Structure 1
Amino acid sequence: MSSTSESFWRMIRLLVTVALMSVCGATEYEYSSWRPDSYNGGRSYSKPPQCVDIPEDLRLCHDVGYNRMLLPNLLEHETMAEVKQQASSWVPLVHKNCHPNTQVFLCALFAPVCLEVPIHPCRWLCEAVRDGCTPIMEAFGFPWPEMLTCDKFPQDDVCIAMTQANTTEVTKPTGYSPICPPCDNEMETDTIVDHMCASEFAFKAKIKEVKRENMDRKVIFQKRKKMVKAGNLKKKDMKKLVLYLKNGADCPCQQLDNLGNQYLIMGRKVEKQYLLTGIHKWDKSSKEFKKAIKKLKTHKCVADQTVFK
């Protein structure tokens, strides 16, 4: 390799390290390679790549550790509106803490750090996040999406990685417990709102009965229900509505053990089943819950938002 080429690559590595070290600290990342033709993949963009501020309402990435991003991004979203629409679907997954590097991985794609040379996440990082988060996604009726197929990310070239690349066991974050994903019941206003926006419908109701059905739990509600977000649900659907806790036959869900409370129930339709995507105690003594319900009255969710696209 010529001295000119060596100097070029040393410069690239330095730029990447300096620009990205702020995300989680200089010792937590490794960076290597770049394929000159990997940014556009042969696609012609209507506008040249530009460096823009990460807007505050891009909730997935506005606190990721850097303030500027490339647009178009590495998922071929050309406008900020498109980035926001697609990225908003993933905010609930980050809240689930299924892998400590979920946000870093997703933001490397949705909001790549602002460098002339775009850097993809490493393949093993994709695989680690995929393996940690797939069980959560399956609980909501979603497979790992094709657009995030890990085989297409680099493994030997320059890429974004956390340092423990050979770690086979994921360290669970503080406060992690193996409860059913829709039952984590985190009482933070923005978390409740994000889950509401990522669900197709929501209502207030008491639970009449919970039955085990194969590897799922079938949740039957009392007749009286108060609609909070109708979505595509019609009155006739509400009368006999039952929700399924996907793959939730054996995982803990405290809410389903206490049938005397009123709950905020969230769900979505997957094929012919209605799945439970969230359940929160209707707790007026909670300031966060009251703020969430108040905010939902005026909050506008991103159009066509679903859970984990």
Structure 2
Amino acid sequence: MNVALKHYPPESRRIGANGLEFCVETRGNPSGEPVVFIMGLGAQMTLWPESLLNAYAEAGYWVVRFDNRDIGLSTHLKAHLQDHPLKAMLNSRLGRPVAAPYTLHDMAADVGGLMDALEIGRAHLVGVSMGGMITQVLAGDYPQRVRSATLVMTSTNSPRLPMPKLGLVWRLSGIGVKGHDEDAVVARSLDFWRAIQSPDYPTAPHTVRERLISDYRRAYHPAGILRQTRAILASGSLSSITRRIQAPTAIIHGAADPLIRPVAAEQLQYLIPHAQARLIPGMGHDLPEPLVGTIAETSLGVMGLASR
């Protein structure tokens, strides 16, 4: 293990930002360039593989991860949603307004607030899925805050992009969910995981199950997942923001992603022509351990360009 990790082990704390409170963890050398990891829809910060975070810390960076609003140990909101989930999805696909308690722009402001609280002027951003959308907002609208952007299995959120596979749309809507006890939630989550995981790099079911149980016991807040989903639907296409990104950028996507189809990465490459794009065969919508090295290498390469 790198000396930096021995001297600077992971440290968790609660930080107030943008009127909310966030659970934040840092690791690595505080004097190193900061890297902020932004997680995806409905996922706690614990979904980031430890080996991935450590790769950045060992490279000398100061690593920051946190629970997004409405999930994990960060502030849980109480706003009620308007309209049926399927109606909201339809309105979003048709480009119509979607009512939501907050949007991806508010979640980007959360990240900016956290950076302020941590006295970070500029940071490298690594965003996965919804976190990649939040990263686009920050990099496009607040370029002075972003050193580099790594966009992993994400999209511009354009309604013109292909839909996820039908079964996944039904699961994401939250319709028909029954049972909120540990066994029911873990079984439901394991089923969803099987549907999105990398076909060429499957994680052992018992490993996934152990993580799901740990996350359930850490925090379970299904209403927050629905509000985050609504935030995505209400934000509409980010294309006009994405094309303004000037920071060095890496685009990493799975060729077998059933949730955010690979064509989304092609659109990102078109809108950010200076980006380095990597389509990984056999990768789905997850961060499997065998691909951690590939993901870190691609991202760190772009971050190195930004630091010159």
TM-score bracket relative to the smaller structure:
under 0.3
Provide the TM-score with structure 1 as the length reference: 0.27
Per residue, is there more helix in 1 or in 2? 2
Provide the TM-score with structure 2 as the length reference: 0.27
Per residue, is there more strand in 1 or in 2? 1
Higher relative contact order (CA 8 A, sep 6+): 2
